[in-house]
Every structure is written in structure tokens, then in C-alpha cells.
Amino acid sequence: MLGRLVTTHVQSTADIREFFDRAACTYSEQHGHPGRLLDYRIGLIKRYARPRTDEVLLDIGCGSGDHLLTLIDDIGRGIGVDLSPSMIQIAQTRLQNSHPHARITFISDDAERLASLAEGSIDLAMCVGALEHMLNKSAVMNSVRRVLKPGGRFFCLTLNGGYVWYQILAPLLRYQTRHLSTDWFLKRNEALRLLADSGFSRLEVGCWTFIPKGDMPASLGVVCHGLDWIGRALRIASLRGGLWTSAWKTK
């Protein structure tokens, strides 16, 4: 896939909401085969977050509902929240068309506040591919911790700010890497510090395979695949495009 990303300038949460509202109707997977990439992410969620059929799962930045709808048989109840009302409308339509009686709810809400959720009401909160777009990540983590039950956990799949594509290759080739001007990709130590500062414990962090094929020429995608293979084999985090983090609310 040949592509060159053009960064959209935004200044506020309202601008970000408007961006995703505009994108909602045509939003699609840009970085590879949609089904295979969804299956891969679901596998990571099951392996590291370990959702259970007696739990309430919160999906933060749920978009059109792909992950929550796919996990429908693995959870007790699901709640998807997204800043974009248009994304939520699409998710609600998909839910009604496929699982009209499912114990899943989609709500338009700001992850920095999670005002629609009661304190201590969630067993497992996850955020997949959305944290990088959120302006105040500390506020997000504080809100997540508030809504988690004691012993609840948080799982996140995000982009690796220390990835060689973002740090060296893209700047050298003058490729933009951010969809929004406010996007911020956390490095490993930044992710751990963010969680610790928000009061989480039992922190874990690791890498997963993410290659932004939609933002680069196909030839560079092949190069990044090779670097990812080396990174997995030798455990070199800078050659891997994604970070996963897991944390617990123990107090």
C-alpha cells in the first residue's frame, strides 16, 4: 500500500471530536488486512488482559465497536465509549444488526472524564489504538482508575514512541507520522511513568507488531517487516512499532 500521511492540525478536544465525526462513515483499517489485524489484536487482548465471562469490560475509544463486538462471547457485559458521536452511532447500528439482545452498550463520552460511568463499576478497561490521540493522558488514566473496581485492571495497545520509523526513518525521509498534530506516541518509560503516577501497580509493558503501512510506500513496509522480525528475535524494542501495557488497581 502506497501512502503519505498528511497531518491534520487540531487544537482542542472539540477539534478531535470533529475530525473523527468526519472520518466515521469512511473509516477503515489502513495498515493491512482488516480481518487478520483484528484477529491479531483480539489475540493480544485475550493473552494479556484475559477478559472473563463474569466481568464488565470497558472499551475506551471504541470507535465503530470492532473489538467489543468481537469479544461478545468472552465477557459478561460490555461498555464502549468514544469521543465521537458519529462513531458511536455506527457502533450502535452494528450492534443492533448483529446482536440486538447483547449485553453491550455504546456511549459517547470523553475518556478524560468518563462522566457516564460510576466509580468502581468496571472489572477490565482496555484502550486499543486510541490513547495516542487523547490530549490529557494523565486525566484519562485518573478517570480509568476511578471507574475500575478494586483489583480491576487496565490494558492498552498503543504505538511505540521509540520505534525506529518514528525516531529515525520517517524524519530522515521527511514523512509525517501523526494523523493529528496533537498525537503523542509514548515511549516505554513514559508509559510506565504515566501509569505509576496515576496510582496503578503491577505494571507490565511489552511490544507488539505494528507497521503503519498506510503511511509509507510498500517498499518501506517490507523493510519495517524485516526490522520487526529482528526486533522480535533479539528483543529490540526500537524495532517494534507497538507497545502493550497492563496495570492493576490494587488499592
The β-bridge relationship of strands 242-248 and 122-128 is unpaired
At 182-201, the pLDDT tens digits run: 999 999 999 999 999 999 99
Residues 138/192, Cβ–Cβ less than 8 Å? no
Residue 208 in this model has a pLDDT that exceeds 50 = yes
Give the dihedral sign, CA 121/140/78/52: negative
Q: Is 114 left (phi over 0), alpha (psi -120 to 50) or beta?
A: left
50 in any annotated domain: yes
At 99-143, the pLDDT tens digits run: 877 899 999 999 999 999 999 999 999 999 999 999 999 999 999
- Cα 208 to Cα 142, 227, 243, distances in angstroms: 25, 13, 6
How many separate domains does the chain show?
1
pLDDT value of residue 185 = 97
Residue 152 structural domain:
13-248
DSSP state of 129: S
Measured at the alpha carbon of residue 26, what is the angle toward residues 11 and 57, in degrees to the nearest 5? Answer: 75
Residues 135/182, Cβ–Cβ less than 8 Å? yes
At 39-50, the pLDDT tens digits run: 999 999 999 999
2 in any annotated domain: no
- Cα 241 to Cα 28, 63, 82, 96, 191, distances in angstroms: 19, 21, 24, 35, 14
44 in any annotated domain: yes
Residues 48/243, Cβ–Cβ less than 8 Å? no
| Bridge partners (DSSP) listed for residue 124 | 57, 153
Q: Select the more confidently predicted residue: 4 or 235.
A: 235
7 in any annotated domain: no
**Mean pLDDT over the full length of the chain:** 94
Measured at the alpha carbon of residue 158, what is the angle toward residues 157 and 160, in degrees to the nearest 5? Answer: 125
Average pLDDT over residues 244-250: 97
Residue 4 in this model has a pLDDT that exceeds 80 = no
1 in any annotated domain: no
Average pLDDT over residues 40-62: 97
pLDDT value of residue 32 = 77
Percent of the chain whose predicted confidence (pLDDT) is above 90: 88
CATH for 227: 3.40.50.150
6 in any annotated domain: no
Average pLDDT over residues 142-168: 97
pLDDT value of residue 3 = 56
| Non-local CB neighbours of 95 within 8 Å, separated by 6+ positions | 65, 69, 102, 104, 106
pLDDT value of residue 144 = 98
Residue 1 in this model has a pLDDT that exceeds 50 = no
User: Is 148 in a helix, a strand, or coil?
Assistant: strand
Average pLDDT over residues 57-70: 96
3 in any annotated domain: no
pLDDT value of residue 2 = 46
From first CA to last CA, the distance across the chain in angstroms is 47
The amino acid occupying position 60 is: I
Helix ranges (H only) for the chain are 13-23, 34-44, 66-70, 85-98, 137-147, 164, 170-173, 188-197, 218-234
Angle between helices 188-197 and 137-147 (to 10 degrees): 50
Q: What is the CA radius of gyration of the chain?
A: 17
